[in-house]
A and B are shown apart, each in its own frame.
Chain A
Amino acid sequence: MKKVTWETVIGLETHVQLSTRAKIFSGAATAFGAPPNSQACAVDLALPGVLPVLNRGAVERAIRFGLAVGAQVRSRSLFARKNYFYPDLPKGYQISQFDAPIVLGGALRIVLADGTERTVRLTRAHLEEDAGKSLHEDFHGMSGIDLNRAGTPLLEVVSEPDMRSAAEAVAYARALHALVRWIDICDGNMQEGSFRCDANVSVRPRGASDLGTRCEIKNLNSFRFLERAIEHEVGRQIAIIEEGGRIELETRLYDPDRDETRSMRSKEEAHDYRYFPEPDLLPLEVSAAWLGEVGASLPELPAAKRERYVRELALPAQDAATLTASRETAEYFEAVAAGLAAAEPTGDRAAQAKAAANWVAGELAGALNRADVEIGASPVCARSLARLIARIRDGTISGKIAKEVFDAMWAGEAAGDAAADAIIERRGLRQITDAGALEGVIDESSPRIPPRSPSTAAARRRRSTISSARQ
């Protein structure tokens, strides 16, 4: 008998918390970590008589996202009420968007670990409010409810079921995570719940065209959990089908401690959300002029930057991808390249860029990895790194010595833009040789250290399959 091979089909729904100062429908603050209920105003508490008023900042961020993924930003969208009872949902309904979301379609380009590029289509992205939190501390058999998070703006980004493995789903999630930070609509802090994924997972015999019955795994707030939850769920579903069982359409929760998913609610409790247009909010209009303004304020997007690095700076695609993993990395790289250009006004821009790329993606990335530090907090700033590279290129030091100087700079032996020069002088590292003769060799020997195998989630995040959005 021929063994059936299975194909996994995954779609993600991602809740992106928008980085507004105030909540989506009230003037309460959104800052994380405030004392319970200190940021829950009358509107958030759903006191009798209160009404919602939409925050322009939340709409603007949704527009930024729509433009960044090449989606249609609708000129007219509607809010709807999703009705259900839960203690963390003060009104007894969530204000969301149902059949008329603000962002329709669009796509995200992702780069897989082997360097291949894929496109994941987006279904929609809509604005909604977050719920509060039940604090499971026991007050004489009572649960506490903290409504600080209630009303925090969310953009729910829904993908098409275009992913075929847990790795692809993670690559997509990383790409989306990088993009929302790149365009500055979300702080991306996953520990604080600013970026949470629900995965819709199903399996089908390879070659089949119909989708299998899916399960939704809720609230995955790390890339590692996302990957493991999907892998576990795929295994569970295949085992059930191969034993002759059927997959039930249900919502499941991933338990990271046991590394398994379990059912959240059973079928007979299936919700009837009674969506209807929110009567307290009129239709949301986005004018062409507003779209134009927001579009003009968008930074160069990762995909465009990546292509430009390849085209204008002749960087290898892999380097271009690494350097556009985050906006901070790209900005750091560009600052190093600019510093080199300033030091060598007549130098070859492509060669300068290549040298800058090698150092940023190599020695610096390795050091950041080892220290588990974000590039924005690097002890070696872009200008001082540029000065160091300039010293290699003008023959003052060799590539090998440069690493020693870099380590000393990292350790804080000297500060300021001219830290490299100070260390070279203090340690007497200036090489006495014919600079011209060695120049070619230095270029060849510039350090290009591959990322270490990751030991922390943060390191993995940086290593990342690089992704970017379509323009």
Chain B
Amino acid sequence: MSLTLPEVMRIAALARIAVTPAEAAGVQAQLNGILGLLEQIDAVDTAGVEPMYHARDVTLRLRADEVTEPDRRTAFQAVAPRSRTACISCRRS
């Protein structure tokens, strides 16, 4: 499997990463190089093997339904690129 240029641009759009026309061919070549490495897994017979999504075979621990977090919006909004009001703001689409 080898990525075409339009596929590269589709993936970049999906990932919200701008790729300029000048960069596109280079990105395409590098991705295809990497995918070439990954394709080694194609040939492996994994019939009947359960995927291993987590590093350890344990189940989830649950939290009690209690409010533990205080209001820290001043501290949290201090790190926002722009926050002129109580809200985090962002240019409209």
Interface residues of A (CB under 8 A from B): 20-22, 26-29, 35-43, 45, 47, 53-59, 76, 78, 85, 87, 135, 139-147, 272, 274, 277, 279, 281-285
Contact = CB atoms under 8 A, between A and B. Distances in A.
B30 interface: no
Nearest to A281: B60
A127 to B, nearest CB: 12
Contacts of B67: 21-22, 27-29
Nearest to B88: A145
Contacts, number: 112
B89 to A, nearest CB: 4
B63 A56 contact: yes
Interface residues of B, number: 33
17 contacts: A27-B68, A28-B67, A29-B67, A40-B73, A53-B61, A55-B63, A55-B64, A55-B65, A142-B82, A142-B91, A142-B92, A143-B89, A144-B85, A147-B88, A279-B53, A279-B54, A283-B60
A145 B91 contact: no
Contact of B73 (A22, A38, A59): A38
Interface string B11-43: 000101000000000000000000000000000
Interface in B38-93: 53-54, 56, 58-69, 71-73, 76-77, 79, 82, 84-92
A41 B72 contact: yes
B59 A53 contact: no
Contacts of B85: 139, 144
Contact of B90 (A28, A36, A41, A145): A145
A284 B84 contact: no
B76 A36 contact: no
Contacts of B69: 26-29, 41-43
Contacts of A42: 69, 72, 76
Contacts of A87: 90
B87 A146 contact: yes
Nearest to A141: B91
B13 to A, nearest CB: 10
B17 to A, nearest CB: 11
A283 B61 CA distance: 9
Chain B interface helix/strand/loop/mixed: loop
B62 A135 contact: no
Contacts of B84: 139-140, 142
A36 to B, nearest CB: 5
Given A37-B76, A54-B60, A21 B66 contact: yes
B61 A142 contact: no
A143 B76 CA distance: 18
Q: Which 8 A-B pairs have the closest CB atoms?
A: A57-B65, A144-B87, A27-B68, A41-B69, A142-B89, A56-B62, A285-B59, A277-B53
A354 B66 CA distance: 44
Nearest to A287: B59
Nearest to A147: B88
A38 B69 CA distance: 10
A145 B63 CA distance: 27
B66 A22 contact: yes
Contacts of B71: 38-39
B62 A54 contact: yes
A57 B64 CA distance: 7
A31 to B, nearest CB: 9
Nearest to A143: B92
A56 to B, nearest CB: 4
Contacts of A27: 63, 66-69
Given A139-B85, A141-B91, A143-B92, A37 B60 contact: no
Contacts of B86: 35-37, 144
A85 B77 CA distance: 20
Given A283-B60, A285-B60, 16 more contacts: A22-B68, A37-B77, A39-B71, A47-B79, A53-B62, A54-B62, A55-B63, A55-B65, A56-B63, A57-B65, A59-B62, A76-B59, A139-B85, A141-B92, A145-B90, A279-B54
Given A85-B16, A135-B87, A142-B82, A21 B65 contact: yes
A51 to B, nearest CB: 11
Contact of A22 (B56, B65, B88): B65
Contacts of A47: 76, 79
Contact of B60 (A28, A142, A284): A284
Contacts of B64: 55-57
Contacts of A39: 71
Nearest to B89: A142
Nearest to B75: A42
